[in-house]
Amino acid sequence: MAARILVLNGPNLNLLGSREPRIYGRETLAEIEAACRRRAKAHAATVEFRQSNTEGELVDWVQQAKEKFDALIVNAGAYTHTSVALLDALLACGLPAIEVHLSNIHRREAFRETSYVSKAAAGIVMGLGAKGYELAVEAAVHLVERKKKKKTARRK
């Protein structure tokens, strides 16, 4: 069975391409989604992209993810640095999660160095611009395949 990956994008990421391009790049979220779909297809995986400016909606999507997906990729935007609710949802969900940031949050304002999402993430990709999403797709596929191999090995 192919890996099914949910990619969640937080506040203001709908503005990619026009919002502070020197920090976030010129790629739109639609362009990033298309690149991720191509990368997923190369691995016989699927991705579903969602974006919300609302914390509660992101939490709802994480809670629902276990029923339909095998892994998560999360760019929580500003909620990265503030949302204990999102952290709790990710921990409760139990799916492997990859945290993504277009910029290197450790080279920015001090408040951005704290990530609640990291505490639930299997891995983090940051500072590589839009390419980071594609790398996160590869990492998510790897984690799902590794989990399936472990499950198969336990059955033998």
pLDDT per position as a tens digit, 116-133 = 999 999 999 999 999 999
Phi-psi domain of 20 (left: phi exceeds 0; alpha: psi -120 through 50; beta: other) = left
CA angle 122, 87, 37 (to 5 degrees): 55
Rounded-to-10 torsion of CA 126, 131, 135, 138: 150
Rounded-to-10 torsion of CA 147, 48, 45, 101: -70
Domain harbouring 133, CATH code: 3.40.50.9100
- Note the pLDDT of residue 1: 64
- Note the pLDDT of residue 116: 95
Give the residue numbers spanning the domain of 151.
4-155
Structural domain tally of the chain?
1
Number of CB atoms found within 10 A of residue 21's CB: 11
CA angle 112, 104, 65 (to 5 degrees): 75
Marked catalytic residue, from 79, 101, 116, 133: 101
Look up the pTM and report it: 0.94
DSSP state of 115: -
Judge whether 24 counts as a catalytic residue: yes
Judge whether 142 counts as a catalytic residue: no
Residue 9 forms beta bridges with which residues? 51, 75
Rg (C-alpha) for the chain, rounded Å, is: 15
Measure CA 125 to chain center: 9
Marked catalytic residue, from 24, 79, 116, 133: 24
E strand or H helix at 16: none
Question: Model confidence over 6-52: pLDDT tens digits?
Answer: 999 999 999 999 998 888 889 999 999 999 999 999 999 999 999 99
- Note the pLDDT of residue 108: 79
Residue 8 has φ and ψ, to the nearest 5°, of -105, 135
Is the pLDDT reported for residue 4 higher than 70? yes
- Note the pLDDT of residue 149: 87
- Note the pLDDT of residue 114: 85
Q: For the chain, what is the mean pLDDT?
A: 94
